[in-house]
Structure 1
Amino acid sequence: MAVQITITPNGRMSLPVEIRRRLGLTRGGALLVEETENGVILRTVTQSIAHAQALAEQYTGHNREASVDAFLARRLEESGE
């Protein structure tokens, strides 16, 4: 769904009430803004966490034992340092 909204000269914008309700933002809340080469993506914090988890799963090959520490240790070992 695409909706046109207006941004005021001081940078404020309002999301339509239907969208705020669907996102659970009826009493306000936080959105994370991601600028991409194709435009801007607005996500709730919950959506951002789910997105990050999906990316992590994609790059770890669904290996739940993968961690940043394990990755860095492998890279250090591969570099021979």
Structure 2
Amino acid sequence: MNTPKQRTIPVSENGRMNLPADMRRALGLAGSGHLIVSLIDNEIRITTASQALKRVRELASPFKPSGAYASDQLIEDRREESVRENDEQDASARG
């Protein structure tokens, strides 16, 4: 289990703060960049875009169809729906 790292850091009047170097390194940040900052239950969570994407993939993995891409299944479903709608419109137009 990861031991949580915790620091007290100053926040300037305009809201700026510095993320400590060891925490930047732990996140894989080198130089400038962007972070995702979330406010959850009155706590601030900071993560990288790559870590957020990894988390989304982990959460979605149980719903992934086996042997196919979810996007392929979605496209197939939409095409079938479109054919049904066109058939219904044709039937309505005929009578």
Q: What TM-score range do you get, normalising by the shorter chain?
A: 0.5 to 0.7
The CA RMSD over aligned residues, in Å, is 2.5
Higher helix share: 2
CA contact (8 A) 1:7 1:13 kept: yes
Of 43, 47, 51, which residue of structure 1 is paired with 2:51?
A: 47
- Structure 1 or 2: more strand by fraction: 1
CA deviation map 1:13-42 (0-9, x unaligned): 101111112222221211101111151110
Unpaired runs of 5+ residues, structure 1, are 74-81
Please, which of 9, 12, 26 is the counterpart of residue 8 of structure 1?
12
Query: What's the counterpart of residue 29 of structure 2?
Result: 25
1:17·1:26 contact (CA, 8 Å) conserved in 2? Answer: no
Structure number, greater radius of gyration = 2
Structure 2 gaps, min length 5:
78-95
